[in-house]
Every structure is written in C-alpha cells, then in structure tokens.
C-alpha cells in the first residue's frame, strides 16, 4: 500500500487544528483524509469504513483522546483488525507519554506538529497497522486450519485453543528437547474467576464468548511459538519453550495478567470483568529429568497457592 492509499481520520474539536493537519498531510501526498469534530463522530466514521491511522487531539469535550483510544482498541478487538493511533497534546512530561501508551496509543506528537515530522510519523504508524493486520489475517488463516484439526481431538471446540491432550503432547516433546539441549520449559496454568457466575447469570453463550475473548487476548500476548491450551472449564495452560535458560522472563506472566485485566470482555448481552491467578513451574534442562505428569502436578500445586492468595497472584 502506498501513502496515497492510506485511510486517515483526523479528530479535533477545533476546526482550525483539523485543517492545519489535513493541509500538512495533503502536501505530503496523503489523499484519503477524513475530518471528525468529535470522538463520537470518529467512531461513526470507523463503523462506516475502517482507517489505517487515527490522529486525535488528547483534550476534547465529552470524550477525550485516551477514551477514544480505548474505544478504538475495543472495536478493533471485536472486528479482528488494527488501527494505528497518534495523539496530539500540549502536555509535557514522561508520565503523559506512559499514560498514552497504556491506553493503546501508538505514537504521541506535541502541538502544533512539525509538518515533516507529522508525515513521517503517519507513515510509520501506517506500517504498524499493516504489520498488525497482516498478523491478524495470518491468525485467521491459522484458525481455519485449527478448525480442520479439531477432528484430531487436540483442539478445544469452544475456544480453538489446544486441549489437555495437546498439552501433554507438547510437554513430552519439549521436556525431552530441554533435557537434551540444556534448554528450559515453562508451564503456566491460569485459573479464571467469575466464569461460572457468568453462566449462572447470563447462560452458556455469554460464558463461551468470554472464553473465546480470553483465548484471543492470550494468543496476542504470548509468542507465536507458545502453545495455549484449555485444560478445564476455567483453566488455561500455556507451554513456553526456551532454547536459552536466560531467555525466560517473569514479566511475561505479568503481561498475561495485564492482557486479561486490561478491559472488560464484551459480549452481545453485557460486559464482564475477569481476573485470574497463575501457577508456574519452570523446568531447567540442567535438572534431573521429569515427566509431563510431574510437571503438571508441580504447576498445579503452585496454582493452588496462587488461588489461595487471591486474584492476580502469580506463584512460581
């Protein structure tokens, strides 16, 4: 896709600011630019036609730029697409930058933006959107492949994750690999809260929608080579193999909890907040060999301890 083919939305409640940014982009060769005078108008435009890049002012009445970013990320998640977001602000300080990134913003520009810098940042943001959308398309193709693999009884039919049989298969293969090559293998078991209550209150369909949403967030959070499985009604297992012992970082587990907690899971009927606890066991290939059954038991023991400590606990 060339720059001229990009779809861009500029969101600012000040007409002068919208025109200045549009003029700068037009001079840089961007032609597919739409203008919105509010966040609500931008969301309506996105419903009509997705955009590659949204440029929004941080401070706007009714819904500010951070709130708009949250809504765009929620909509992207539901539709399986990715929209790059750049915020304009007069705020100074690293805390504002951190806050913007925590809300899913891709980039951040001081007002008024330099025209050359603006064009370069839009081009970079478009590349991010294209890369993410390529990944999502690959993921959709993989999901189609997974549906075909369901006949092999290795896939959980509700979520498309692996099942316990797949987990055992992956543990057996990776434990042997870790032992022979002095690598490492991590098994994380995630106990999710409130799922049974959702089924009691709203029915199995809402519960299954939440389970699918959890799996999708986990899939986007972990590495492509990590294996995600659903072991029980409310427990997911993740197998993470490492060729180098030092390559495993505990903050990978923090990212998993953050992905679950980042926003409510939206279904056709309601929004649901889910929390979780994680039990972890890391096998070091320099240790004595263990079986997949032993690794499951050790991880389950840590999960039990994590559950006893309450939501969002991690025990390794």
- Sign of the alpha-carbon dihedral angle for 56, 59, 63, 69: positive
CB 14 within 8 A of CB 57: yes
Mean pLDDT, the chain, as a whole number?
Answer: 87
Span 44-67, average pLDDT: 93
Domain boundary among 79, 104, 137: 137
45 and 168 share one domain: no
The number of domains in the chain is 2
Q: What is the CA radius of gyration of the chain?
A: 22
Report how far Cα 19 is from the mean position of its chain's Cα atoms.
34
133 and 161 share one domain: no
Predicted confidence at residue 22, as pLDDT, reads 93
Which range of residues forms the domain containing residue 187? Answer: 154-315
Q: Is there a domain that residue 144 lies in?
A: no
Q: Is there a domain that residue 17 lies in?
A: yes
Q: Is there a domain that residue 66 lies in?
A: yes
132 and 200 share one domain: no
Query: What are the φ/ψ torsions at residue 267 (nearest 5 degrees)?
Result: -120, 180
- Indicate the pLDDT class of residue 68, thresholds 50, 70 and 90: very high
- Indicate the pLDDT class of residue 124, thresholds 50, 70 and 90: very high
In the predicted model, is pLDDT for residue 153 greater than 90?
no
Residue 140: count of CB within 10 angstroms of its CB: 10
121 and 174 share one domain: no
Domain boundary among 137, 163, 181: 137
Residue 186's beta-bridge partner residues? 240, 282
Q: Which residues contact 298 (CB under 8 A, 6 or more apart)?
A: 281, 290
In 3D, which of 212, 213, 73 has the Cα closest to residue 129? 73
Stretch among 19-23, 138-142, 299-303 having the lowest mean pLDDT: 138-142
104 and 164 share one domain: no
3-state secondary structure of 260: helix
Query: What are the φ/ψ torsions at residue 222 (nearest 5 degrees)?
Result: -90, 175
Domain boundary among 73, 102, 137: 137
Q: Is there a domain that residue 145 lies in?
A: no
Q: Is there a domain that residue 43 lies in?
A: yes
- Indicate the pLDDT class of residue 1, thresholds 50, 70 and 90: very low
Q: Is there a domain that residue 142 lies in?
A: no
104 and 234 share one domain: no
200 and 284 share one domain: yes
CB 9 within 8 A of CB 34: yes
Span 248-269, average pLDDT: 83
Domain CATH number, residue 284: 3.30.70.270
Predicted confidence at residue 4, as pLDDT, reads 60
pLDDT tens track for 171-208 = 998 898 888 888 889 999 999 988 888 888 888 888 88
More confident residue, 122 or 144: 122
In the predicted model, is pLDDT for residue 234 greater than 80?
yes
Domain CATH number, residue 23: 3.40.50.2300
29 and 175 share one domain: no
214 and 118 share one domain: no
Residue 13: count of CB within 10 angstroms of its CB: 16
Q: Is there a domain that residue 143 lies in?
A: no
Residue 184's beta-bridge partner residues? 242, 284
Q: Which residues contact 48 (CB under 8 A, 6 or more apart)?
A: none
Of all residues in the chain, what percent carry a pLDDT higher than 70? 95
- Indicate the pLDDT class of residue 246, thresholds 50, 70 and 90: low
Predicted confidence at residue 197, as pLDDT, reads 83
CB 52 within 8 A of CB 7: yes
What is the Cα–Cα distance from 65 to 89, expressed in whole angstroms? 9
Q: Is there a domain that residue 169 lies in?
A: yes
pLDDT tens track for 91-104 = 777 787 888 888 88
More confident residue, 216 or 152: 216
Residue listed under structure tokens 């708009």? 68
Query: What are the φ/ψ torsions at residue 30 (nearest 5 degrees)?
Result: -85, 125
In the predicted model, is pLDDT for residue 249 greater than 80?
no
Residue 147: count of CB within 10 angstroms of its CB: 12
104 and 219 share one domain: no
Residue 38: count of CB within 10 angstroms of its CB: 16
Predicted confidence at residue 232, as pLDDT, reads 82
In the predicted model, is pLDDT for residue 263 greater than 60?
yes
96 and 201 share one domain: no
28 and 161 share one domain: no
């Amino acid at each position: 896709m060339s720059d001229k083919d990009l779809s861009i939305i500029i969101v600012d409640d000040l007409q002068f600011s919208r025109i200045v940014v549009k003029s700068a982009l037009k001079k840089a060769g961007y032609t597919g630019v739409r203008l919105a005078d509010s966040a609500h108008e931008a969301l309506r435009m996105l419903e009509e036609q997705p955009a590659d890049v949204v440029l929004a002012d941080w401070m706007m009445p009714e819904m500010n730029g951070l709130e708009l970013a949250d809504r765009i990320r929620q909509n992207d998640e539901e539709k399986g697409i990715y929209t790059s977001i750049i915020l304009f602000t007069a705020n100074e300080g690293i805390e504002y930058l951190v806050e913007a990134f925590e809300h899913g913003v891709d980039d951040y520009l001081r007002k008024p933006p330099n025209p050359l810098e603006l064009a370069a940042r839009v081009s970079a943001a478009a590349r991010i959107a294209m890369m993410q959308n390529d990944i999502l398309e690959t993921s959709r193709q993989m999901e189609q492949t997974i549906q075909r693999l369901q006949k092999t009884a290795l896939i959980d039919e509700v979520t498309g994750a692996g099942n316990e049989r797949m987990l055992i298969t992956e543990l057996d293969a990776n434990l042997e690999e870790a032992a022979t090559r002095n690598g490492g293998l991590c098994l994380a078991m995630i106990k999710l809260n409130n799922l049974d209550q959702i089924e009691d209150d709203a029915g199995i369909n809402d519960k299954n929608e939440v389970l699918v949403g959890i799996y999708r967030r986990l899939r986007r959070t972990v590495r492509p080579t990590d294996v995600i499985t659903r072991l029980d009604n409310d427990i997911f297992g993740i197998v993470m193999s490492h060729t180098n012992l030092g390559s495993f970082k505990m903050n990978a587990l923090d990212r998993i909890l953050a992905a679950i907690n980042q926003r409510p899971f939206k279904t056709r009927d309601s929004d649901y907040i889910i929390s979780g606890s994680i039990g972890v066991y890391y096998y070091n290939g320099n240790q004595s060999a263990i079986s997949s059954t032993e690794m499951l038991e050790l991880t389950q023991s840590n999960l039990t301890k994590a559950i006893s400590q309450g939501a969002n606990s991690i025990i390794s």
